[in-house]
Amino acid sequence: MSKICELTGKGPIKGSHIWRSGKAKKSGGIGTHVTAITKRRFLPNLQRVKAVINGEVRYIRVTAKALKEGLVTKPAKRTWKKPAAV
């Protein structure tokens, strides 16, 4: 499954994890130094939700930001009830 939002198209982005060692100057040290830099990925906060798309209800994977902004139209709640036992 791809980690891409179906509405906004937002996907993973690249970044770095930076390791530092040493004591900060304001804490009495000689300053911190970078000892290693490794690559990492920042993944979008995807949620699987039911949405109305082209008149039909289906599951889509969208970012939490898209949900907060109201880009997803959720289906109406079911009102059907089980018939009473005879």
pLDDT in tens, 25-72: 999 999 999 999 999 999 999 999 999 999 999 999 999 999 999 999
Which residue is associated with the tokens 């709640």?
Answer: 77
Confidence (pLDDT) at 70: 94
Annotated domain spans of the chain: 13-68
Phi, psi of 25 (to 5 degrees): -60, -40
Q: Which residue, 69, 75, 73, is CA-closest to 10? A: 69
Question: At residue 59, what is the residue type?
Answer: Y
pLDDT (tens digit, 9 = 90+) per residue, 61-84?
999 999 999 999 999 988 888 888
